[in-house]
Amino acid sequence: MELSSSLIRPWPNTEENSSITVALLYSVLSLNVPSVFDDQMLELYRLQTGLLRRRRQREMMEMDRRRRQYLRRRRAFLLSSIAAVLSLMTSTNRPVWVRHRSPGHNIWSMADSFDDDEWKAQFRVSRATFDYLVELIGPAIKRRRTNYRAPIEPRRRLAITLWWFSRSGEYRSIADMFGVGIATVCVIVRQVTSAIVERLYHRFVSLPSGQRLDDTIRAFKDRCYPQCAGAIGVTHIPIAPPRTNPDHYINKKGWHSVILQAVVDHNVCFTDVYAGWPGSTNSATVLSSSDLYLKAEDRPDGYLFPRERSLVSDGVEIPVHLIGDLSFPLKPWLMKGYSEEHQLSPVQRRFTYTLSAARSVVDTAFTRLKGRWRCLLKKSDIDILMMPRVVAACCVLHNICELRGDGFLPEWNTEMAPSGNYLIQPDRELHAEDMYCTAEVIRDTITYNLLTILQY
């Protein structure tokens, strides 16, 4: 049997391929394979050759890839090393755009020359109270020095915020007066407001307890009303129309507002503050959603203050309670006068008058709060979500001023009358009288035994 010369041709360029070919031919000859299988053997040979060739190509490509990867890493290492060496040998100054503001004749540059009266007229607090506030929140509003510029000092940050609280002016005018940027004024007001609320709210705004509670009860008793721990009331704070649900914030007088609910003690200080509800909401709804309501209603006895402070008159337990106007519900922990819709007896009228006179502290507190911090009298352009913090911060500052004897100046109240430029408060919506209940029994007992109870 003759074999074609193509069968005995060695595989290209490798000795291994030649040995495989020779071995294959010997196996064919020794087995006397018929010629009918010649084509199949040739095809097998070609397939084997192609497989080995592709494998060799893949190996060469993998080696080339690894070599290029190695060269790239070595080049990157050399470049980073050179850059590190150059950075140690030379220093570069990057150009940074900074607007240098001249202090000029702005108010802050002249503040040190103010006397005590002028300082208080500008910032609505005395210089001693201002320094006290810087001591309390200075670390929270101090900013770290950078390579670009010196930070604005805490004193000027606080002064900017107090100026905005007391006037709620445009950011542009305040920026010119204090030598800062317009956006900086907005940021500073937010930062300082948050610092006041977070650092000082729980320290200066809390319901009376212990000796404070005894002092409060005694002070209201001197006002001829017994067992009172504070007066509760609401007032509307003007706002610009919000983007979402603006109609919800329109009160009964037709202007946009949020509601401030507050409890005030005998010192005209706020002991509980709850702000942010839309102006269309009534007082009872705001109260029922507040922490104050939950704190009282969640207690098993339904009292807001310790039960051991209660008095007993004619077999009726009279707890320590708050007093409010007719827009609030009647509760064992919240008393109000009798409605004029019914024919009142002389003793009922006397009780209603006495309660209203004692409750006047809340109106006085609201008057001083808005007279000192006039941002609560104007429609400010601050975000609606930020407004409750602004209200709370103003209440904290009010308490600090009252506790430190930082008096309220009469001229701050001249433009708050209805004839002035500020919005008139909406009328209170009377809350429907509850049917016969424990709270009504307590009120009747106080009404008919008022003089006796005051002698305890």
Please report the pLDDT score of residue 97 as a whole number: 47
| DSSP per-residue string spanning 214-227 | HHHHHHHHHTT--S
Strand 321-324 vs strand 228-238: parallel, antiparallel, or unpaired?
A: parallel
The residues with which 206 forms a beta bridge, in sequence order, are none
- Summary mean pLDDT of the chain: 85
The first and second tokens of residue 416, run together, are 């708050």
Q: Is residue 5 a contact partner of residue 39, using CB atoms and an 8 Å limit?
A: no
pLDDT over threshold 80, residue 276: yes
Condensed to tens digits (0 to 9), the pLDDT of residues 47-101 reads 888 888 888 888 899 898 888 888 988 888 888 888 888 777 665 555 544 455 5
pLDDT over threshold 50, residue 3: no
Condensed to tens digits (0 to 9), the pLDDT of residues 117-175 reads 899 988 999 999 999 999 999 999 987 766 566 788 999 999 999 999 998 777 888 88
Of 53 and 435, the structure prediction assigns the larger pLDDT to: 53
The C-alpha atoms of residue 425 and residue 305 are separated, in whole angstroms, by: 31
Please report the pLDDT score of residue 231 as a whole number: 98
Q: What is the mean pLDDT of residues 182-209?
A: 95
Please report the pLDDT score of residue 126 as a whole number: 94
Most confident listed range (19-33, 87-101, 175-189, 344-358): 344-358
Q: Whole-structure pTM over 0.95, yes or no?
A: no
Residues 6+ apart with CB under 8 A from 451: none
Give the rounded percent of residues in the chain with a pLDDT score beyond 70.
84
Q: What is the mean pLDDT of residues 10-35?
A: 49
> Which of 16-20, 196-200, 345-349 shows the lowest per-residue confidence on average (mean pLDDT)?
16-20
| Residue for token pair 């721990």 | 229
- For the chain, what are the domain ranges? 1-60, 107-203, 208-454
Task: Give the full edge-to-edge strand order of the sheet including 334-336.
Answer: 270-278, 257-264, 228-238, 321-324, 334-336
The C-alpha atoms of residue 9 and residue 308 are separated, in whole angstroms, by: 116
The C-alpha atoms of residue 343 and residue 56 are separated, in whole angstroms, by: 112
The C-alpha atoms of residue 325 and residue 341 are separated, in whole angstroms, by: 14
pLDDT confidence tier of residue 15, bands split at 50, 70 and 90: very low
pLDDT over threshold 50, residue 7: no
The C-alpha atoms of residue 38 and residue 25 are separated, in whole angstroms, by: 11
Please report the pLDDT score of residue 279 as a whole number: 94
Please report the pLDDT score of residue 13 as a whole number: 46
pLDDT confidence tier of residue 104, bands split at 50, 70 and 90: very low
Cα 335 to Cα 217, 305, 327, 346, 450: the distances in Å are 14, 14, 11, 18, 14
Residues 6+ apart with CB under 8 A from 250: 256, 279, 280
Q: Is residue 207 a contact partner of residue 309, using CB atoms and an 8 Å limit?
A: no
Task: Give the type of residue at 230.
Answer: G
